[in-house]
Amino acid sequence: MTSKAGIEQVLKEASMRVTQPRVAVLAAVTANPHADTETIISAVHEEHPHVSHQAVYDSLKLFTSLGVVRQIQPQGHIARYETRVGDNHHHVVCRRCGHLADVDCSVGASPCLHASDDHGFQIDEAEVIYWGICPDCQALNS
């Protein structure tokens, strides 16, 4: 989905009008996985300085609600966005610098995918965040 045509197709498949601000925002999220809102606004403004902050916020909210973009907000951190959706992957977060990376779902016996008691819910997703210290921060302590 890195081309403009690919991004426009994603918007059409989600039954959204294709507008320049929406294309710009989705392109920025695609190019900057796990970016926060300010980073996305900056990326959008590099190519389209006339796109308002509110248009970026509105687009992110719409994309998230339609499942085109996933919002990740680890406890104590600001929201971040990614276009990797629908595969139930997880994340690892550095406790020191906040670096965030994708982690494919557990394999084998996956307690993260099977709740011990579903309380009658039809569960369709599990969210797991692994916490630790990233290699760069580990190297600083060596």
Domain count, the chain: 2
Provide the CATH number for the domain around residue 108.
3.30.1490.190
Q: Examine the domain organization and report whether 61 and 103 are in the same domain.
A: no
Residue numbers of the domain that contains 117 = 86-140
Domain boundary pick from 28, 45, 72: 72
How many Å is the Cα radius of gyration of the chain? 17
109 band by pLDDT with thresholds 50, 70 and 90 = very low
In contact, 129 and 93? CB cutoff 8 Å: yes
Residue 80 lies in a domain: no
The DSSP 8-state label assigned to residue 104 in this structure reads P
Q: Do 9 and 39 belong to one domain?
A: yes
Residues 92 and 63 in one domain: no
Does residue 44 sit in the same domain as residue 93?
Answer: no
Among residues 50, 72, 94, the one where a domain terminates is 72
- Which ranges of 48-119 would DSSP assign to H, the alpha helix? 53-66
**Residue pLDDT, tens place only, 69-102:** 999 999 989 999 999 998 878 899 999 999 999 9
Q: pTM to 2 decimals? A: 0.83
Residues belonging to the chain: 142
Flag whether 77 is in a domain. no
CA distance from start to end of the chain = 40
CA distance 106 to 121: 21
